[in-house]
Amino acid sequence: MHEVDPTSQSNYLQIATKHITFDWTVDFDNKVIAGTATHELIAKNDEVSEVIFDTSYLHIEGVKVDGDAVQDFRLGPKHEVMGSALRVPLPRTLSAGSSILVEITYRTTANGIALQFLEKEQTQGKTFPFLFSQCQPIHARDLAPVQDTPSVKLTYSASVRSVLPVLLSAKRISPPSDGPAHDGKIIGKDEVVYTYDQPTPIPSYLLAIAAGNLQYQSFQVPDGKQWKSGVWSEPELMDKSFWEFSRDTTRFLAAAENLAGPYRFGVYDLLVLPPSFPYGGMENPCLTFVTPTLLAGDRSLTDVVIHELTHSWFGNGVTHAHASHFWLNEGWTTYVERVLLQIIHSPAHRGLSSVIGYKALLDALALFEDKPKYQKLVIDFNYGEDPDSAYSRVPYDKGANFLLHIERTLGGLAVFLPYVKDYIATYMGHSISTETWKNHLYAYFQKNGSEGQIEALNSIDWDAWLHQSGLRLPVEMEYDLTLVNPANALADRWYESRYTTDISKLDFKSSDLDSLDANQRAVFLERLESYNESLPAGHLFHFDKLYSLSTTLSAEIRFRFYTLVLKSPAAMYFVQGAANWVIGVDDTGVIKGRMKFCRPVFRAMFKVNPDLTISTFKQARTQFHPIAQSLIAQDLGLDLTGLRGSG
């Protein structure tokens, strides 16, 4: 296993950034951010004579060290995944502990994938352009020269000139969030300078920016809390966004504080992005980014908010050292997310979420049949290997199940939760490896536990969980099935009816789904998909007619419906509908840019009708986020070289 981050070319072990001051202008006409990044760095060793930054597709205009221009900085050859190392020689050799200022003047270019500049037609309001970033896992280097490794934690401050309101993953200094939009100036025309400060050290992948016609509405915060919370969205979506999140966000954050300790970032806002946002949510500090597909109109998808705010402790507080230990972020977050579901709702809700996660895990493991390395919890990345290609539910659900297994082996939540608090308190603000986590777990129970608990820990098959590949978990897990059973029962009834040839004899009603909530409906569809034999086409037409699944506006249900029917004898009939839905030629009018939805639907379509799939993708490709474009292309075996950059 690499000790050093295998995805960064920077020399962060010799010298590391402590603070960055950004001075940026957002240029919507040319689709670039231009300005300076000034790093305050601290030498970790003696005799440090250069700083190496990660950059990708940045145009470097000049470098100053302690205020003086340096001429002999060098931009290295471009590595396909890691980008070009920017080497800055230092005029004096540094000894451990001493600091230096390096100011880099640069601009971003259209080839980077961290930034997506949207045309006004791609927004809700269709009047102003939009910009957003996605820096995790290793795209911060497309936004600014940085030591792009989560092992370096930095504070930052920024001032950003823009003709549209600007949001950053930091605290707004000016103009005030709750004042008039764009400081009362003309949106889209007048330049306003937005200033921000992030005083809590964060890894580079949490740098984030969004700009567009964005408005703010604050949530009510429980008594005694020092933090603020609210939602940002385009004005056209404000009422829906506020309704969807205002009841739950602050009480979820308060519940997480009870479990994990005080919230440290001062502000917890949500930002509802345009449809091309490629994830469900992204835990940018002070400002979680969410997909607009969460606006279900029934508050049924707010689990994503629980997940993202839990990252405030796991990931944003205690951070994985590098890509190999990514499960420490997502596995821990998913584990605690489900504990919070139990606390906020009921043990049955924790079970329901676990069952959904387990199915997603089995799918992910199966998809990596030819890439067993990515079935492991701790992945031994080669130097320069792309972490985006390894992204899957494995770190989430193998990780969460591993922690659940440890919890149960040790004696349950009452024993485990005090340990969780200690883990957080011990490593808050640090970046750690799996080994550090495991050593602390043992140390904690050696100090606070019994001999029996150490024996319990010794009984765990650490190697199987952490380092083995395979299509299943090392231990079969049991979950609370109270909420799962009714969904499975309905699916089983359908399956049992599969030999009934006379559809009019089928005993199903439109109201069958009324008693199932959104997550139970997902389980229902997944159960149907899990049988060895598909339902006959006639059944599926009837099924769709009764439950209107090919027209439901819930993306969580619709993508599961398509993955079910595209594996059935009715596939030819539904493939065009799936194509239309995924690129927004449907009643929603918007692409389904969240990769959780578009990737499986494109993959399922491809098995049915490759030509239609490829032409559908090519037709709408540039509307998808660059990361989604490249992963869908990989899934479909397409080569995007030569096409990229043109959108």
Angle at 220 between CA 337 and CA 168, to 5 degrees: 70
Cis check for the bond before 569: say yes or no (omega within 30 of 0): no
For ligand BES, the closer of residues 100 and 341 by Cβ is: 341
- Which of Zn ion, ligand BES, none interacts with 274 (beta carbon under 5 to 8 A by kind)? none
Residue 637 DSSP class: T
282 scored as a contact of ligand BES (CB under 6 A): yes
Owner of token pair 């952490």: 466
| Among positions 142, 148, 308, 526, the unique one binding ligand BES when judged by CB under 6 A | 308
Query: Residue 175 or 278: which CB sits closer to ligand BES?
Result: 278
Minimum CB–partner distance for residue 137 and ligand BES (Å): 5
CB 11 within 8 A of CB 50: yes
> Nearest approach, Cβ of 140 to ligand BES (angstroms)?
11
CB 214 within 8 A of CB 252: no
Quote the least distance from Cβ 92 to ligand BES, whole Å: 38
Smaller CB separation from ligand BES, 360 or 454: 360
135 assigned to a ligand binding site: yes
Does the protein bind ligand BES through residue 136 (CB under 6 A)? yes
Q: Tell the smallest beta-carbon distance from residue 411 to ligand BES (Å).
A: 28
Which whole-number Å values give the CA distances from 66 to 76, 86, 218, 562, in the listed order?
23, 17, 41, 58
Q: Is 283 annotated as a binding residue?
A: yes
Identify which of residues 337 and 586 has a Cβ nearer to Zn ion in the complex: 337
Compute the distance between CA of residue 586 and CA of residue 598 in angstroms, rounded to an integer: 14
Is the CB of 65 or the CB of 255 nearer to ligand BES?
255
Under rule CB under 6 A, residue 397 binds ligand BES: no
Min dist. Cβ of residue 315 to Zn ion (A): 7
Our answer to whether residue 383 is catalytic in this structure is: no
Given a contact cutoff of 8 angstroms between Cβ atoms, the answer to whether 357 and 400 are in contact is yes
According to the annotation, is 349 in a ligand binding site?
no
Give yes or no for residue 280 binding ligand BES (CB under 6 A).
yes
Rounded distance, CA 198 to CA 220, Å?
A: 23
Paired sense of beta strands 171-174 and 192-203, if any: antiparallel
Taking CB under 6 A as the rule, does residue 304 contact ligand BES? yes
Q: How far, in Å, are 400, 433, 445, 571 from residue 427 at the CA level? A: 19, 11, 16, 50
484, amino acid identity? V
Question: In the structure encoding, which two tokens stand for residue 297, read together?
Answer: 């109109």
Considering beta carbons, is residue 56 or 333 the nearer one to Zn ion?
333
Q: Could you say which of 396, 419, 479, 562 is catalytic?
A: 396
DSSP letter, residue 575 = H
- d(C-alpha 366, C-alpha 374), whole Å: 11
Beta bridge partners of 366: none
At 493, list the tokens: 């009834």
| H/E element, 364 | helix 347-367
Tell me how far, at minimum, the Cβ of 634 lies from Zn ion, in Å.
22
282 is in an annotated binding site: yes
Determine phi and psi for 410, rounding to 5 degrees.
-85, -15
Contact between 142 and ligand BES per CB under 6 A = no
Q: How far is CA 269 from CA 115, 212, 266, 311, in A?
A: 21, 16, 10, 14
Among 142, 234, 283, 556, binds ligand BES (CB under 6 A): 283
Could you tell me which stretch among 274-282, 448-456, 554-562, 609-617 binds ligand BES (CB under 6 A)?
274-282
> Is-catalytic flag, 308?
yes
Gyration radius from the chain CA atoms = 25
Contact window for ligand BES (CB under 6 A) among 277-285, 317-325, 399-407, 485-493: 277-285
Kindly state the number of chain residues that form the binding site for ligand BES, as judged by CB under 6 A: 14
Q: Supply the residues annotated as catalytic.
A: 308, 396
Binding residues (CB under 5 A) for Zn ion: these are: 330, 333
Residues annotated within the binding site for Zn(2+) are 307, 311, 330
Residues annotated within the binding site for a peptide are 134-136, 278-283, 594-596
Binding residues (CB under 6 A) for ligand BES: these are: 136-137, 279-283, 304, 307-308, 311, 330, 391, 596
